[in-house]
Amino acid sequence: MQNMSKINKRERFFTVGGITKNVTNPDPRSRAWVEVDPKVIEKNSRVLKDFIGEDCLLMAVVKADGYGHGAETVAKAALIGGADSLGVATLEEGIQLRNAGFKCQILILGNLINREEFYTALCWALIPTISGIREAIICNNIAEKNHKKFIVHLKVDTGMTRLGCHCHEAEELISKIDYLENISLKGIYSHLAIADSDQVKNNCKSFTQMQLNRFEKVLNDLGKRNKSLCRHLANSAGTLSDSRLHFDMVRVGLSLYGYFPVNEFGSDLKLKPALKVKARVTLVRDVDKGIGVGYGHFFKTQRKSKLAVVAIGYADGVSRVLSGKISASIDGVLIPQVGAIAMDQMVFDITDKPDIKIGHVLTLLGTDGDVMISPQKWSDLSGSIPWEVLCSFRNRLPRVIT
Ligand SMILES: *Cc1c(COP(=O)(O)O)cnc(C)c1O
């Protein structure tokens, strides 16, 4: 008898049999989500392609799952808009795109480490970046064994101090690579370190100018050989700031997604943000003056207030550092977030917009009517950069393609 009642208690708590059968999955828009408009990416790609002109190729950088937009969605839209190739950071990102059916050139911007990785890159026809003779020899051996030619790009370090061979080594290195029969060196490139904070146009002694000079010297020293290579140097900031940085190809990330790394450069271009972060109000409550809100009671109401609880938190990608600093938009009206941002929830003060109800949708990031809340705004408030803000929406939020 006693046994029986124990089982019943357990069953009352745990049994879900029969209930789940006829229930459909929740709408991805039920709690909080990221909205991406591929048409906007396509248009940005076209705008950038027109801007760089027909003599220059456009590489769409879709690393980190397309800066949080979805790599496949972005890649497809960018190619339709006129991009010529794709850039990824890792082998896995390249394979994902090949698996999704992308046939264009894909350059791996990061460094591969060992034979297995280079072999995998060869199998998937991904182009590795090499920085020295070690990688060149590995590639040559692997290609020889597999009776193939390994297409690679060589990176030269002009001042980023990350990947790439020293500038003064480049010429000798290339002459050695040219002896390796199973390598086909198709590109040479470098990466700008401070183009987003440096003013190339107004200051000829700028660091970016020096990187340009170094890159040009490497190319000059190669003589005729350099003409047969795809030469590339510019990221978004470089692309928008100075056409002398374009060479044969530019590698754009941030601007493809609709943002300007430097306010002054390219702002006349019609680039538009493709991403929005939205969340629903899950509860509305009235509280008295002087009431502490959320963990730590960092915020206390200064008046009788109306508060809206919204189901998005730092686990979704809204940094806790932004607590009490951001606003969200509804009907083009900004309402302030108050108290600590928690893992899954945050609170907004809607005292001045009391018509907000359960189920209403707030726009935390992106355009809503005339209001535009940019990742730049968030990164200014949190001491980060827009790139990192965009990359943070990859954990839990469903992505809705509009
Ligand atoms: C990420 C990356 C880019 C794109 O930079 P944006 O500033 O987002 O345009 C270009 N080149 C390399 C090597 C990169 O790693």
pLDDT tens, residue by residue, 323-373: 999 999 999 999 999 999 999 999 999 999 999 999 999 999 999 999 999
Give the C-alpha separation, 91 to 57, whole Å. 22
Any ligand 1 atom below 6 A from CB of 240: no
Q: What is the pLDDT of residue 295?
A: 97
pLDDT (mean) for 189-212: 80
pLDDT above 60 (res 93): yes
Q: Per the structure block, which two tokens stand in for 340? A: 């600590």
Q: What is the pLDDT of residue 196?
A: 83
Contact 258, 8 (CB under 8 A): no
Give the C-alpha separation, 352 to 355, whole Å. 9
Every domain of the chain and the residues it spans: 34-257, 275-401
pLDDT above 80 (res 264): no
Any ligand 1 atom below 6 A from CB of 278: no
Q: What is the pLDDT of residue 263?
A: 74
- To which H or E segment does residue 57 belong? strand 57-61
pLDDT above 90 (res 391): yes
Distance 252 CA to ligand 1 centre (A): 6
Residue range 275-401, CATH number? 2.40.37.10
Residue 145 sits at φ, ψ, to 5 deg, of -60, -35
Give the C-alpha separation, 33 to 83, whole Å. 28
**pLDDT band at 266; cut points 50, 70, 90:** confident
pLDDT above 80 (res 87): yes
Mean pLDDT of the chain: 93
∠ CA 241-221-160, rounded to 5°: 45
* pLDDT tens, position by position, 221-236: 999 999 999 999 999 9
pLDDT (mean) for 36-48: 98
Give the C-alpha separation, 44 to 39, whole Å. 9
Q: Which of 66, 103, 68, 70 is nearest to 88 (CA)?
A: 66
Distance 204 CA to ligand 1 centre (A): 23
Q: What is the pLDDT of residue 224?
A: 93
What's the farthest any 2 CA atoms get from each other in the chain?
94
Q: What is the pLDDT of residue 195?
A: 87
Q: Which CATH superfamily is domain 34-257 in?
A: Alanine racemase (3.20.20.10)
Mutating to test ligand 1, I would choose from 109, 192, 254 the residue with most ligand atoms within 8 A of its C-beta, which is 109
Any ligand 1 atom below 6 A from CB of 109: yes
Q: What is the pLDDT of residue 71?
A: 97
Any ligand 1 atom below 6 A from CB of 254: yes
pTM: 0.93
Give the C-alpha separation, 206 to 2, whole Å. 83
Percent of the chain past pLDDT 70, that is, above it, reads 92
Q: Per the structure block, which two tokens stand in for 86? A: 């794709």
**pLDDT band at 32; cut points 50, 70, 90:** very high
**pLDDT band at 7; cut points 50, 70, 90:** low
pLDDT above 60 (res 377): yes
**pLDDT band at 25; cut points 50, 70, 90:** confident
Q: What is the pLDDT of residue 254?
A: 97
Which stretches of 182-266 are assigned E, i.e. beta strand?
Answer: 183-189, 230-232, 249-252
Distance 105 CA to ligand 1 centre (A): 16
Distance 62 CA to ligand 1 centre (A): 9
Any ligand 1 atom below 6 A from CB of 279: no
Q: What is the pLDDT of residue 388?
A: 96
Pairing type for strands 150-157 and 127-130 reads: parallel
Mutating to test ligand 1, I would choose from 61, 74, 232, 376 the residue with most ligand atoms within 8 A of its C-beta, which is 61
Active site residues: 63, 295
